[in-house]
Structure 1
Amino acid sequence: MRFRQILNHLEEWLIGFLLALTTGVIFVAVVHRYLSGVPIPYLQDWLLARDLGWAQEFALICAAWMAKIGAAYGVRTGIHVGVDIVTERATGKTRALLVTLGLGAGILFSALTAWFGALFVWENGLAYAFYDTLGWDTGPYFEGSVTPDLEWPSWAVYLIIPIGGMLMGWRFLEVLIRFWRTGELPRHQVAHVAGLEES
């Protein structure tokens, strides 16, 4: 299996897994919250002894990861909303130049996001964790903050910023190379909806 196919499947699997996991956790938290208010002997005491206050924070973290991975997926499949009235009316070299500029801007934005995201993560705890794990002097680096409820290192949560930036930049580059070779851009095929006729 080629690298691109593995990456495609990994993107789709991660988005699906995180969505299912988030849905499951929130469902359990809502049921827990509801049943905690029902005066059923033993059950209410048992539920009140379990703290699921972390579920909302967990869902927000998963949503951020899904959004960044989903943005790269959107570039690959052509589902991002875009204003293409100018590029669709342009032809030949003008169209190629406009598309190349647009995709180049996407690559630049993604690269800057990845670079500054990596610096942010490194300086907010990853450097400390890296040096500390290797048993080296942590020097000027500090341990970094943790999330309020889960108490996870914040750098681990924010790691999606550089990862998502690199992934999205890679996808923009793939689309650009494919455009140069074939002249085609990815298009999302809108399914036909029964009863809704185009005018």
Structure 2
Amino acid sequence: MRRAAGGLHAPVHAALDLLCRAALWLSGIALLAMTVVVAWSVFGRFVLNDTPAWGESLALLLLGWVILGAAAAGVRENFHMGFETLRDLLPAPVAAFCMGLSDALVTMFGAAMAWYGGELALGVWDATLPALELPGAVEYLPLVVGGLLIALFGAERLLTRLATGAAPAVATAEHTILTDA
């Protein structure tokens, strides 16, 4: 796991590590389940000539969990798209300001996702998804949970940067959660 970031206590850092791993596990399980659902739908359509009505709806719901859990982990592990070329061309103080601003914007974006996703979920709680027979709010739960995690991990980066002047240390190669290999 990553070293405890300056300004954050080790138990908080350890809890965020566990939360990040849980988000990735949830994403992985959702991806596996989505693969099974899509395979069953294809089998049903072309072999049984009876496409399950719930297949597409469930696959789309699972896709939300795949994307948002992995996106939150990408924020924590700094494994997301960025503009390093521009940052590397800027003077050090300006680059540091831009990185802090980026962390603040990511945190606010995650909070907005969670807030407005929650409003959407509450607005359709009484509705029922016809194909799945689940409350309508289920469609927006990945947005709420993913937004909360993005905001939490963005806030960790921002607070660490404010306390130490640097971003949290990224995981070492042998302990990293995500790699680009």
Alignment TM class, shorter chain as reference: 0.7 to 0.9
- Matching of residue 108 in structure 1 with residue 132 in structure 2: no
State the shift of 1:36 in Å: 1.6
- Matching of residue 183 in structure 1 with residue 160 in structure 2: no
Aligned to 2:33: 21
Give 1:1-199 correspondences, 5 Å limit.
2-37=14-49, 48=50, 52-125=52-125, 143=126, 145-180=127-162, 181=164, 183-184=166-167, 186=170, 190-191=180-181
1:168-189 deviation line (CA, Å, top 9, x unaligned): 1111112223444362465975
Q: Any unmatched runs of 5+ in structure 1?
A: 38-47, 126-142, 192-199
Structure 1 length as normaliser, TM-score?
0.71
1:124-143 deviation line (CA, Å, top 9, x unaligned): 22xxxxxxxxxxxxxxxxx2
Tell me the amino acid that sits aligned with residue 22 of structure 1: M
- Mapped partners of 1:176, 1:189: distance in 2: 23
- Mapped partners of 2:28, 2:22: distance in 1: 10
Tell me the amino acid that sits aligned with residue 87 of structure 1: R
Of structures 1 and 2, the one scoring higher in RCO (CA 8 A, sep 6+) is 2
Aligned to 2:4: none
Change (3 A) 1:124 1:83: same
- Mapped partners of 1:184, 1:81: distance in 2: 16
- Aligned residues: percent identity? 24
Aligned to 2:174: none
- Mapped partners of 1:156, 1:36: distance in 2: 29
Q: Any unmatched runs of 5+ in structure 2?
A: 1-10, 172-177
Structure 2 length as normaliser, TM-score?
0.77
Tell me the amino acid that sits aligned with residue 130 of structure 2: P
Tell me the amino acid that sits aligned with residue 159 of structure 1: L
Change (3 A) 1:189 1:17: closer
Tell me the amino acid that sits aligned with residue 120 of structure 2: F
